[in-house]
Structure 1
Amino acid sequence: MAAIDLLGWAATAVLVATLWRQIWKQWRADDAQAVSTWLFIGQMTASVLFIAYSVVLHSWVFVVTNSLVLATAIAGQCMAWVKRRRASS
């Protein structure tokens, strides 16, 4: 692994920690309506496209990063659905 890859992995760690913190905050919030479904759709679409792009370029830092970003978008959307369902019942 090249030294420059460490910079990419550090950026990945910061980004994923930030996204997971936001998901945690969303989970603790009372109002699930505050989070847009379109945010998650856009984030998931962009992540899938960036994963494909990164695979073609053999940029494994970005394959992993965008896979983790995709996972946070899926988790966030699932939490929003659960909270909306609970709120409506």
Structure 2
Amino acid sequence: MGIEAVGWFSSFILLLTLGTQIHKQWKTGSSEGVSQWLFLGQITASVGFTTYSVLVGNWVFVVTNALILVSALVGELIVLKHRRAERRGARGEGPLPLRPAHPRS
């Protein structure tokens, strides 16, 4: 278990780092300076690495790469949301309302 503990600890640190960046991106409401290609590349690589990890039976990397894939998907969705909001702002449309303008009776 000692060797696997190194892998699980490293996985935790990597995922914590990625999660912190995605959380910051979400909280600031901006994806300025974040390349959309970063997440598309990460998604592609994570699918490949997850598949490889399953094939060789390394569960530390199966879990790590699957969670990195999830973080890439979330990051990509945030970038798309921010870019759409920026385009609306540039056209003077403003952000989408979070609730309907008129409550249902």
Give TM-score, length-normalised by structure 2.
0.78
Q: Residue by residue, what CA displacement relative to the aligned partner does 1:19-69 show, whole Å, maximum 9, x if unpaired?
A: 000101212335424211111111111111101110111000000000011
Match for 2:78: what amino acid? M
Q: Taking CA–CA contacts closer than 8 Å with sequence separation of 6 or more, which of the two structures ends up with the larger relative contact order? A: 1
Root-mean-square deviation (CA, aligned residues, Å) is 1.2
Structure 2 unmatched ranges of 5 or more: 89-105
Q: Which stretches of structure 1, 4 residues or more, deviate above 4 A after TM superposition?
A: none
Q: How do 1:26-65 residues align onto structure 2 when only pairs under 5 Å count?
A: 26-65=25-64
Give TM-score, length-normalised by structure 1.
0.91
65-74 or 27-36: bigger deviation: 27-36
Alignment partner, residue 80 of structure 1: 79
| Structure number with bigger Rg | 2
How far does residue 7 in structure 1 lie from its aligned partner after superposition?
0.8
Match for 1:66: what amino acid? N
67-76 or 33-42: bigger deviation: 33-42
Alignment partner, residue 17 of structure 2: 18
Q: Give the structure with the larger helix fraction.
A: 1
Total equivalences in the alignment: 88
Alignment partner, residue 65 of structure 2: 66
Q: For residue 37 of structure 2, give the secondary structure of its aligned residue in structure 1.
A: helix
